[in-house]
Chain A
Amino acid sequence: MAPLTPYTFFQCPCSEPSTLGRPADGSSGAGAGAEPDADDEDRAFDPRAPRSNYSLYPLEYLLYCEDCQQIRCPRCVAEEIVTFYCPCCLFEVPSSNLKSEGNRCTRSCFQCPVCIGPLATTSLESHPDPNLLAAPDNSAAPHSGPYILTCSYCNWSSTEIGIKFDKSNGIHAQLAKLRNGGTTRLTAKERKERRKDLLQGGGPATRTAEAAVDGRDLDVDTQFANLKAFYQNQLADSSSGGNGLSSLGDMGFASPSSLSRIMSIYTGGSLHDKRSKLRIGTMREALDSDEGLKIANLDESGAIEKLQEEGYDATVSAEQISNQTPNLGEAPLHGRGRFTSELRPIPYLLRTKRSKRCPICRHIISKPEAKVQATRFRIRLVAGSYIPSITIRPLNTPEASPGAPSDTLQPLKPVQFLLTFKNPIFETVKVTLATPAKTPGRFASKVTVLCPQFEIDANTDVWDEALKDGDKDKRRRRGEDGPHQAEAGKIWERGRNWVSLVIEVVPASLRLDLLALTNPTGGQEVDTGPLREDEDLLEIPMFVRVEWEADAAGDEIGSAPNKDKEGREKRELAYWCVLGLGRVSQS
């Protein structure tokens, strides 16, 4: 595993009640070693519980609502769409098109079905005519032949699925009419005509045979359209008899999961009502392919033979299949979807630019520029400029042995880390930290924060500090005075708007045989399963509480010198975060 740089994750307070306050309904299986039914307020956040993965974010992903003074994560913002656009051609799609044309680019933007690279439309000219090159007049229209889509990355081309295009533009529309292999889809009109021909040609015997054939190539789109038309007809027919309202009325059924409307038509109306009796009928079933009925074609021997002939390489991977869009121009594929010959170019999914609002006060907290090409934001209140950031680095005391690998932590050997809190706001903040003495999980490491309470100076102008440098000089240079020890209750170092302090950790031993000895759980079964993923990671849950005083209503920056107590109010912010310190060595 790659060496791990220390990291921090923040938990958005929005997920806290659900994470902690879930009733104990059998969730004990998830967090191994979680104390059952501890008081909710006492229970420490467990970064290893699978649920915590859904509430932790790096600081960069978090936003901040100034009015509610609360962190806002992607789960707790209300989104509004600014623009829809195609990520390939950057064309801005009007939102009205979305309903009719779907969520994919309907121009000529396609992804390769094999490697998802972009496909280019090229002319299929196997033998470039030398005369053509010689004559300069003709060079204006050299690409005349059929066109294909090619991938410049993996050399896939649409000839592999037997598809060529007549025109070089509007590929999406052309592709929709083509089936793999190059045959065109039957339109509804053609289908009807063909049917008529066959009906005139033969008796009932050929008619049934024809129906089977006709049903066989009934593609998804047509089947759906036929079914829809059929149902609408039936509904209109069967409910036009009654006065509409009564047919919706009598339904005292205990019928589970029934479609009450259709049910009501079935029993609907009143039986003694002569008029309605004449008219009302049940909705019948679809009877032929014009009504959307399709007899399943169970014979897949052709596909099996193909599988045997062409083998593993003719099939597509699970990832490629999952990237495919449902092919509406084809009958349901079932197993045949596995062949490379059934792949279709993937039209690009459209994307959106979204502005974000606080769900409570409806203030905008992030708003991108509407132009597709622009990457700027008009408004963006990132949490990083409101809450102190935390950076971690190992504290290399001189007596640390140089031979030890720096990227893993030795079990049962105390290590010290330096946490640096940096204050982004223009007020002095008071920070209170809390960690559980032992990290949750099977392998409990001991954690001591040497200075859990401290103040960070305001993020003042850089020049201010440079000008009144004198008195802070002593504190800042303390590191150079000599090998000074980390002392409990004292911070390590302080700067203009930052403070660093020491956290001492005794990593747990990852030996499974020691697990039962070190955890005196008193009768409880000790989980001695194998080491799970990331269980060797030393992650410390830490509760951070930030307090500061700010101007109450108007943020008048100019009136700072006269510190009017009435004009200022106390604010606080509290959240969990997770410090990832490193991996514990397993040897």
Chain B
Amino acid sequence: MASATGPPTTLPHRSVANIRSPPAAGYHGPSSGPSTPLRPITSAFASPSSLRAEEDLIIIEFGTRKLQVGFAGDAAPRGSIWFGPDHQRRVGDFRAWQTDYHDDWRKAAAGKPWGRDHELWQSDVRGLDLGLVGDKIERALRDAFSRYLLIDSRPRRVVCVLPSDLPIPLLSTALDSLFNRFQSPTVSLLSSPVASAVAAGMRSALVVDLGWSETVVTAVYEYREVNCGRTIRGGRMLVEQTHNLLAKHLPQARKETEAAHDSQQAQDYALSFEECDEITTRMVWCKPYHAATTTVTQTAEGLPTVQEHDESDARGYSTSGKAATATIPLKSAKPPTSLNLPYDLLTEPCENTFFDSRYSQSSFDDHELPVYLLVYRNLLNLPLDVRAICMSRIIFTGGCTGVLGLRKRIFDEVSHLIQQRGWDSVQGKATEQLRSNLKLNRSTRQASTGPTDAASQAGGSSGGGGGGEEQDGVWHDAANNTPEVDPIDEQLKRGGDKRPRVQGQMRALESLGAWTGASMISHLKTPAIATIGRDLWLQQGAAGASKASDVDPKTQQRQSLGAGGLIRGAAASSAWTLGVWGAN
């Protein structure tokens, strides 16, 4: 098995575009003149007939709620499998097809946390049955392979796209399934933020993953994750908030006292998870950013409709001034009913989940920061130049990007916050006073709008303060000084682009998604740092992984470049790594 497959670069097959010399000189900056094009290094003993099977490298993206599979080089995954209770039944259990089964959701969901069986795993692995997770992965993959990829059960190389904060037990469960049940010879790991950045054509980006269990903001700089922040404000919370909104407006719930409703102890769900999930994807939207809305408090439960109509009229969103209402049928309520809710009320779950502007910004814990604050803080934590690059490469991914208007709202909130505060981590009344005090303000910086401002200010103030100085009898002026030549900078600039890099301004980019990024990376034959061989994994398990820094990539490269398996014998004993995932 090991001889039949090799590390990624041994693959002799290349697309034609690679073999040809760089086309159309001048298309991408100066071409490097006539040169022998890069040839793929073919493994000496691989016969062309064995290529077919090797060709399809499978890309798997693991998410909390779904799994996406496809072949490397495709623009989109071939299929996705959603985890759900129907996926966890015994083979031959056809109760889901019984007519009354789905109406009886209370019985089916009793005794289990609401909606948890729609998830593959939780990142809190304490109470998690890892064997069960492995079973779920196996069944989902088997299903996906035979239904969407239409492949047989020959061992194939796999690339996994994983969130970079995946706990090791879960990672090792996933790898166990792949190695034991699917016999994959190698599994490469790619982190999803980096893959998202690649799928946007960027080397650096601020990836805002509005995911299911968490919203993760990751700063990627030159293909490295440099900073990461998380908040529990994600899809799960959104669905729960939708449930609360709907349950509150159910006819029988109105009669109940508010006190009983508030007590979190009695977490009786009035509606099924499936229905709330569906309504969330169908109807929930997000209000556009409005300077006033940040301070509007929605405290009274019955009142806010009037208030909100005014706002919506002002923004011209409500059609022809009348109170537009949505009719939402609720089948899982008892008795089944349909609700008439004003459209503005349907923004409430989104508002509460991602922004929560009812509370002051200082009242949040680290794990529950509103998303825009998290984005801002993440940018703030970055070094100046990294921030400048990242803020103009904001990528929104994840399931919650489907909430209409949410991306723009977050983007606007962050822009507003930057305008208001600048890049100052100190905030509060004292800084406000300082800022408003013109006398004090003159010498310090003004509320800057971008990090480059700060940079130029810093440079300018030192130059302006000194005004110039005399050295060796020559008048050195900061303005006329020739800047010191930095070889690395030079090299960076030589990238061939005459056009400047966009930086220092807020800009959102569209990414094709982590899966597509991984497909692109694998298609371009870029070896991943974390590539795990089956034999080594079965021998050593996760404990055998060394730190990424201890692994000598040269050995791996040599292994891949060596003809056939000559050097592989030596390389087999070499260290391997799990990359980011094995860091702790």
| Residues in B whose Cβ lies below 8 Å from that of A256 | 164, 191, 224-225, 529, 548, 579-580, 583
| Residues in A whose Cβ lies below 8 Å from that of B501 | 285
Complex CA gap A316/B136 in Å reads 28
Instruction: Decide if A45 is an interface residue (CB 8 Å cutoff).
Output: no
* Nearest chain B residue, comparing its CB with the CB of A284: B495
Q: Which of B18, B405, B557 contacts A236 (CB 8 A)?
A: B18
Interface residue stretch chosen among B144-152, B241-249, B421-429: B144-152
| Residues in A whose Cβ lies below 8 Å from that of B282 | 312, 315-317, 338
The answer to whether B401 touches A315 (Cβ under 8 A) is no
| Residues in B whose Cβ lies below 8 Å from that of A287 | 497, 499
The answer to whether A240 touches B37 (Cβ under 8 A) is yes
A232-252 CB mask vs B (1 if < 8 Å, else 0) is 111111011100110011011
Chain B 36-56 interface residues, beta-carbon cutoff 8 Å to A: 36-39, 55-56
* Nearest chain B residue, comparing its CB with the CB of A255: B224
| Residues in B whose Cβ lies below 8 Å from that of A254 | 547-549
B208-225 CB mask vs A (1 if < 8 Å, else 0) is 000000000000001111
Instruction: Decide if A98 is an interface residue (CB 8 Å cutoff).
Output: yes
The answer to whether B510 touches A240 (Cβ under 8 A) is no
| Residues in B whose Cβ lies below 8 Å from that of A354 | 146, 152
Instruction: Decide if A196 is an interface residue (CB 8 Å cutoff).
Output: no
- Known contacts A224-B516, A296-B509, A300-B404; is A57 also within 8 Å of B91 by CB? yes
A129-166 CB mask vs B (1 if < 8 Å, else 0) is 00000000000000000000000000000000000000
Complex CA gap A231/B404 in Å reads 32
Instruction: Decide if B486 is an interface residue (CB 8 Å cutoff).
Output: no
The answer to whether A26 touches B127 (Cβ under 8 A) is yes
The answer to whether A307 touches B283 (Cβ under 8 A) is yes
Instruction: Decide if B131 is an interface residue (CB 8 Å cutoff).
Output: yes
The answer to whether A350 touches B150 (Cβ under 8 A) is yes
A28-50 CB mask vs B (1 if < 8 Å, else 0) is 01100000000000000000001
| Residues in B whose Cβ lies below 8 Å from that of A284 | 203, 495-497
Q: Which of A77, A235, A532 contacts B111 (CB 8 A)?
A: A532
Interface residue stretch chosen among B26-34, B357-365, B464-472: B26-34
Chain A 65-110 interface residues, beta-carbon cutoff 8 Å to B: 74-75, 77-81, 84, 98-99, 102-103
The answer to whether B512 touches A304 (Cβ under 8 A) is no
| Residues in A whose Cβ lies below 8 Å from that of B91 | 56-58, 61, 74
Q: Which of B108, B125, B200, B203 contacts A283 (CB 8 A)?
A: B203
The answer to whether B131 touches A18 (Cβ under 8 A) is yes
| Residues in B whose Cβ lies below 8 Å from that of A535 | 111
The answer to whether B561 touches A248 (Cβ under 8 A) is yes
Instruction: Decide if A297 is an interface residue (CB 8 Å cutoff).
Output: yes
* Nearest chain B residue, comparing its CB with the CB of A47: B90
Minimal beta-carbon separation of B46 from chain A (angstroms): 18
Q: Which of B128, B142, B150, B487 contacts A81 (CB 8 A)?
A: B150
* Nearest chain A residue, comparing its CB with the CB of B280: A318
The answer to whether B524 touches A231 (Cβ under 8 A) is yes
Minimal beta-carbon separation of B243 from chain A (angstroms): 15
Q: Which of A103, A260, A263 contacts B148 (CB 8 A)?
A: A103
The answer to whether A332 touches B90 (Cβ under 8 A) is no
B486-502 CB mask vs A (1 if < 8 Å, else 0) is 01000110111101010
Interface residue stretch chosen among B257-265, B323-331, B372-380, B431-439: B323-331
Complex CA gap A75/B23 in Å reads 49
Instruction: Decide if A405 is an interface residue (CB 8 Å cutoff).
Output: no
Instruction: Decide if B138 is an interface residue (CB 8 Å cutoff).
Output: yes
The answer to whether A258 touches B224 (Cβ under 8 A) is yes
Instruction: Decide if A126 is an interface residue (CB 8 Å cutoff).
Output: no
- Known contacts A257-B225, A352-B150; is A53 also within 8 Å of B111 by CB? no
Complex CA gap A4/B232 in Å reads 43
* Nearest chain A residue, comparing its CB with the CB of B189: A257
The answer to whether B90 touches A57 (Cβ under 8 A) is yes
Instruction: Decide if B17 is an interface residue (CB 8 Å cutoff).
Output: yes
- Known contacts A231-B520, A233-B27, A256-B583; is A312 also within 8 Å of B283 by CB? yes
Instruction: Decide if B307 is an interface residue (CB 8 Å cutoff).
Output: no
Complex CA gap A128/B39 in Å reads 63
The answer to whether A30 touches B132 (Cβ under 8 A) is yes
The answer to whether B194 touches A257 (Cβ under 8 A) is yes
Chain A count of residues within 8 A CB distance of the other chain? 126
Complex CA gap A198/B438 in Å reads 48
The answer to whether A338 touches B281 (Cβ under 8 A) is yes
| Residues in A whose Cβ lies below 8 Å from that of B443 | none
| Residues in B whose Cβ lies below 8 Å from that of A25 | 130, 169
Q: Which of A29, A237, A262, A321 contacts B526 (CB 8 A)?
A: A262
The answer to whether B408 touches A299 (Cβ under 8 A) is yes
The answer to whether B223 touches A263 (Cβ under 8 A) is yes
Instruction: Decide if A523 is an interface residue (CB 8 Å cutoff).
Output: no
Instruction: Decide if A209 is an interface residue (CB 8 Å cutoff).
Output: no
Complex CA gap A349/B492 in Å reads 47
* Nearest chain B residue, comparing its CB with the CB of A279: B32
Instruction: Decide if B139 is an interface residue (CB 8 Å cutoff).
Output: yes
Instruction: Decide if B92 is an interface residue (CB 8 Å cutoff).
Output: yes
Complex CA gap A60/B36 in Å reads 61
Instruction: Decide if A421 is an interface residue (CB 8 Å cutoff).
Output: no
Minimal beta-carbon separation of B392 from chain A (angstroms): 10
The answer to whether A249 touches B557 (Cβ under 8 A) is yes
Complex CA gap A186/B391 in Å reads 32
- Known contacts A259-B223, A305-B319; is A56 also within 8 Å of B529 by CB? no
Minimal beta-carbon separation of A18 from chain B (angstroms): 7
* Nearest chain A residue, comparing its CB with the CB of B411: A298
Instruction: Decide if B384 is an interface residue (CB 8 Å cutoff).
Output: no
Complex CA gap A19/B82 in Å reads 24
Q: Which of A51, A283, A312 contacts B328 (CB 8 A)?
A: A312
B516-527 CB mask vs A (1 if < 8 Å, else 0) is 100011011111
Instruction: Decide if A473 is an interface residue (CB 8 Å cutoff).
Output: no
A277-319 CB mask vs B (1 if < 8 Å, else 0) is 1011111111100011111111111011101110110011110
Minimal beta-carbon separation of A328 from chain B (angstroms): 6
Complex CA gap A291/B17 in Å reads 15
Complex CA gap A332/B515 in Å reads 14
Complex CA gap A260/B559 in Å reads 15
Instruction: Decide if B507 is an interface residue (CB 8 Å cutoff).
Output: yes
Given A54-B136, A296-B508, A349-B148, 5 extra CB contacts under 8 A? A57-B90, A102-B78, A228-B17, A258-B529, A260-B526
User: Which positions in B face A, CB cutoff 8 Å?
Assistant: 15, 17-18, 21-23, 27-29, 31-32, 35-39, 55-56, 71, 75-80, 82, 88-93, 98, 104, 107-112, 125-132, 134-136, 138-139, 142, 146-153, 164, 169, 181, 189-191, 194, 198-204, 222-225, 274, 277-278, 281-283, 285, 288, 317-319, 324, 326-329, 343, 395-396, 401-408, 411, 487, 491-492, 494-497, 499, 501, 507-510, 512-513, 516, 520-521, 523-530, 547-549, 552-554, 557, 561, 579-580, 583
28 residue pairs of the A-B complex, CB under 8 angstroms, read A9-B90, A27-B131, A50-B129, A51-B135, A54-B139, A81-B152, A84-B150, A233-B28, A236-B21, A237-B31, A244-B38, A248-B561, A254-B549, A256-B579, A256-B583, A259-B198, A259-B521, A260-B553, A261-B524, A281-B494, A282-B495, A287-B497, A296-B395, A296-B509, A300-B405, A305-B317, A326-B77, A332-B513
